[in-house]
A and B are shown apart, each in its own frame.
Chain A
Amino acid sequence: MAGATHGLRVIPPPAAEPAGDREAAFDRCADALYRYFVVRTRDVHLADDLMQQLWLAAQQLGPTVPDELEYRLRAIARNLLRTYWRRQQRLPTHVPLVDPDLAAELAERLVSKELPDAELCRAEVREQLLLALTELPAQQQALLIGHYFEQRDHAELAAQFGISLRAIEGRLYRARRALRERLQHMELL
């Protein structure tokens, strides 16, 4: 019997993504990865170059199971960026850098009181928030950006993602929690 031998149930590995779906999988997370590069380089041309490298890397990867591609592309994106800065000999002074202490403090303040405008406008706050946001999985980024940065309500998001209002609320809650956790555990590049 397929899948079982001598009473021991063998769980088959997840089916690998068909080769034809690779481009679609890349497209699903491309916006998030592009944003990841732009926030960290402040250079859209460089971000374009890095996305080209990422596309090449995506094609060279072996078979992946669904959802694995984004995880692996994120790791490659981090390495591409690290390699780029290394070849530039030093981290530039004009791009935002992760400050783990500041990010952790922000995570705490965001859930402890309503922050005044003056604090929200601080560059360090914006930078740490964007650095954390752009590290989230593409779908969570899309939800948070759609709701908070593009001011779309739950009904619009439900229509966009093709899920119920209740599901949107649940996913938004998990995305907020993920953002907070990311801020609490930000790591240097």
Chain B
Amino acid sequence: MTGQEDHQDRLLDQNLRSIGRRVPLPAAPTEQQRNKWKQAPGSSDLHGPEETMRPTGRGGHFMRNRRMYLPAGTALAAAIVMAFVLLTSGRHNAVAAETILQSFRDAPRQGLRIVFSGLQTEEMLVDGRVSVLFDQPWRLGELISGEMSDPEPSSIYVDATVAFSEAAREHAGLHMQVAAAIGEAEEWAYVQGTLGPKMSEELGAVAPLAGNLLNRGVMIDLEGVFEGENPIGVTHTSVREVTVGDGAGGQTTATIETDASVTVDDAGPRLTVASEVDVQNGAAIELGELEDQLEDLLAGRLDREGLEALVLRLDELAGDVDVEEVEPGLYVLTARDLSGLTDDDSGDVTDTLAHMVVAMGYRVDVGVEWLNVDHLLGPDGHLEIAFINEFGPADQLNRADYVQEGVTFELDAGACLKMFGSSDDAAGEASAEK
């Protein structure tokens, strides 16, 4: 130890003595507590990583009805509409409706944090979060009116678990945790889980190796991977048919086609989701007209008469609404029982909407900060969208949290690409050496 190290250690020793006399430590666990830990039942209300990766434990909870897609897709629209209704109907005039509307439409946003948990459909259960910052501030009104093209994400953090139920045709039993950080500061992706029987069967002889790798977890370092001109990416097209009974023996069928693509090139990551709903036999949920009005509303095209008509129509829809000033300048608007949005007589959609709770936080001089939807797609479904201007502790992922030394397989994708570079590159390098 050098003289300086010795001096520093003595100071550290003295300071720790002083701190130790002043700082109370948590009490040590009692013997009773220790015993209680070890008498834990096989599961609890907390869902640790192990449990979330075990789909069989949740298989019984998968939703059996695909009709719930429709309310899910319109929940956000409903939240925005309900906020407007409540604050223009004169019952709650603490915050000017115009101000809120304007904050929705004109406040510049830099990014979004989307948290979702317990979202269940017939085929899958999804939990996770996505935080994204865009390359430029964007305004909702300009996006909707087309004055501004879609902003492109500059940094993304994703952490999600997906578990497919036995009802999923192609991926039955597959469950995965996927995490990724893609941006200027870091570029990595992580995947861990287990193959289901269907995928194992499809993979054949490779299945044991793939299954083992997936089970151990794979951390892929992506640095240098996106420097080329050729983008990489995946596109997934999902087509779902949704059938709703009208209570009189008839049916309404809607086809929902969703295209989701993620591409990454030297300009950064891009996420595109487009969804199209084609209703073949009337609308089970009367949102078509309302969504048009909402679009006009947010784009500033709705005139006074249109607004009044909208308010009168929407004021009848929510069964229970309230606005509470939870702290000075912060208003939380909550709407329950949105069953008025549908005339579905079969009960499933009505029941879902009746249990849905939509909440919104509005801060004076800041604007709408967040939107929450509870009981979405089922009793445990939760969706939260928050507007953010920069990443905070709740957004960032730590690569080290996903890597278990000696267990996780680490792959340097950039180095692999260099090692197996194209023949053109190799020829170029060879000629340069000459």
Which A residues are within 8 Å of any B CB, using their own CB? 23, 27, 30-31, 34-35, 38-39, 44, 48-57, 60, 68, 71-72, 75-76, 78-80, 82-87, 89-91, 97-98, 110-115, 117, 120-121, 125-126, 129-130, 144-145, 147-151, 173, 176-177, 179-180, 187-189
Contacts and interface: CB of A to CB of B under 8 A. Distances in A.
Given A55-B37, A176-B13, A84 B401 contact: no
Given A60-B50, A91-B394, A114 B42 contact: no
Contacts of B37: 30, 48, 51-52, 54-55
A35 B27 CA distance: 8
A121 B398 CA distance: 30
A130 B19 CA distance: 11
Contacts of B129: 86
Contacts of A148: 16-17, 19-20
B14 interface: yes
B433 to A, nearest CB: 36
B20 A151 contact: yes
A179 B13 CA distance: 11
Interface string B364-405: 000000001000000000101000000001101010110011
Contacts of B401: 75, 78-79, 82
Given A38-B26, A115-B18, A149-B23, A110 B12 contact: yes
B316 to A, nearest CB: 31
Contact of B25 (A35, A114, A121): A35
A52 B34 CA distance: 9
A126 B20 CA distance: 10
A180 B12 contact: yes
A100 to B, nearest CB: 10
A97 B392 CA distance: 11
B11 A113 contact: yes
Interface in B27-58: 27-29, 33-34, 36-38, 40, 42, 44-50, 52
B15 A79 contact: no
B373 to A, nearest CB: 12
Contact of B22 (A85, A120, A173, A188): A120
Given A27-B34, A89-B382, A83 B48 contact: yes
Contacts of A48: 29, 33, 36-37
Nearest to A112: B11
B394 A30 contact: no
A157 to B, nearest CB: 14
B117 interface: yes
A130 B18 contact: no
7 contacts: A53-B46, A83-B49, A86-B128, A97-B393, A112-B11, A149-B25, A151-B20
B48 A53 contact: yes
Chain B, interface residues (CB within 8 Å), range: 35 or more
Contacts of A52: 36-37, 40, 44
A75 B217 CA distance: 14
Nearest to B42: A56
A165 to B, nearest CB: 16
A50 B50 CA distance: 13
Contacts of B80: none
Interface string B323-351: 00000000000000000000000000000
A76 B52 CA distance: 13
A30 B31 CA distance: 11
B259 interface: no
A118 to B, nearest CB: 11
Given A76-B49, A84-B46, A188-B398, 11 more contacts: A30-B29, A48-B33, A51-B37, A52-B40, A56-B40, A60-B50, A80-B46, A114-B11, A120-B18, A130-B25, A189-B393
B159 interface: yes
Contact of B34 (A30, A111, A151, A177): A30
B9 interface: yes
Contacts of B9: 111, 173, 176-177
**Considering the complex of A and B, which 3 residue pairs feature the smallest CB-CB distances, nearest first?**
A148-B20, A52-B40, A111-B8
Contacts of B36: 48, 52
